[in-house]
Amino acid sequence: MEIIANLFKLTIILLFIINVFKIIIDFIYILFPKKQAKIKLLRIHEEKNQHESFFCLNIIYEYEFKGEIINGSKLNSFNNIYRKKRSDLESIINKRSYNGYIDVYVNPFFPKKSYAFPLRWNKIFPISSIIISTVVFLILYFTSNL
């Protein structure tokens, strides 16, 4: 039983670390150089689950970095942007795009890695998973030492 409890603690810790790491990566990408990218495909589609529906953004863009033409589709480190209203996604796109182009943040060390919308992920999932994993870990930690 103790092995299962330790594996559960390890899983909670890993979930916490992964989410914090992804948030840090998004902050780092804001420091990377911006490149103008041509939007090749921009699509907003609806995803439904049992309780509600969300709108999701998909984008494919093309940019040039040091003479090389590169295609990208990453939005951010979580690679998603979900919103409850289609108009919220359209607003995000309109703030960042112009005449069929968008600014993307390009990793200068790995030019094929770029993000179009760092820090625009659905904040509910990563933040709530960090909070929940912290609370569960603390409960397990303090109850196992009693």
**pLDDT of the residue at 85:** 82
Same domain, 113 and 126: no
CB 122 within 8 A of CB 80: yes
What value does the mean pLDDT of the chain take? 83
Which of residues 19 and 121 earns the better pLDDT score? 19
Same domain, 113 and 128: no
Same domain, 105 and 66: yes
pLDDT cut 90: percent of the chain above it: 26
Span 124-144, mean pLDDT? 73
Same domain, 109 and 135: no
Which pTM was predicted? Answer: 0.73
Backbone region of residue 100 per phi and psi (left: phi > 0; alpha: psi in -120 to 50; beta: other values): left
- Give how many domains the chain has, as a whole number: 2
**For residue 96, pLDDT beyond 90:** no
**For residue 105, pLDDT beyond 90:** yes
Span 42-66, mean pLDDT? 88
What residues does 60 pair with on adjacent strands? 41
Same domain, 113 and 133: no
Structural domain for 131, as ranges? 1-32+121-145
Same domain, 77 and 9: no
**For residue 111, pLDDT beyond 90:** yes
Same domain, 46 and 103: yes
Same domain, 104 and 41: yes
Confidence of residue 109 (pLDDT cuts 50, 70, 90): very high
DSSP state of 37: E
CB 106 within 8 A of CB 63: yes
Same domain, 79 and 108: yes
Same domain, 99 and 111: yes
Task: Give Dmax over CA atoms of the chain in angstroms.
Answer: 63
